[in-house]
Amino acid sequence: MYETIIAITIVLLMMGTAVTALYARDLFISIILFGGFSFFAVLLYLSLRSPDVAFTEAVIGIVSTTFMISALKKTGRGCSR
């Protein structure tokens, strides 16, 4: 019962983070929200008792977020107007 409520809550948080990242005007904020989405995915996998998939998601989320932030810094793009 509680596991279902936790999973639904995490999925709703993931959906909220994804929609907010889509409509954010600042690219840096969008990247940070993507990192939050990845974090909620890790929590969801852990709540579903799949630690190996959660670990893989955490590594991919950290690497891709770092890569996107460094690419954003090199291109000098900030906000879309």
Summarised one tens digit per residue, pLDDT across range 36-66 is 999 999 999 999 999 999 999 999 999 999 9
Output the pLDDT for position 35.
94
What's the whole-model pTM score?
0.85
Residue-range domain boundaries for the chain: 2-75
Reported residue count of the chain is 81
Closest by Cα among 76, 66, 60 to 31 = 66
- DSSP track, 6-17: HHHHHHHHHHHH
Widest distance between CA atoms in the chain:
48
Dist CA 60 CA 53 (whole Å): 11
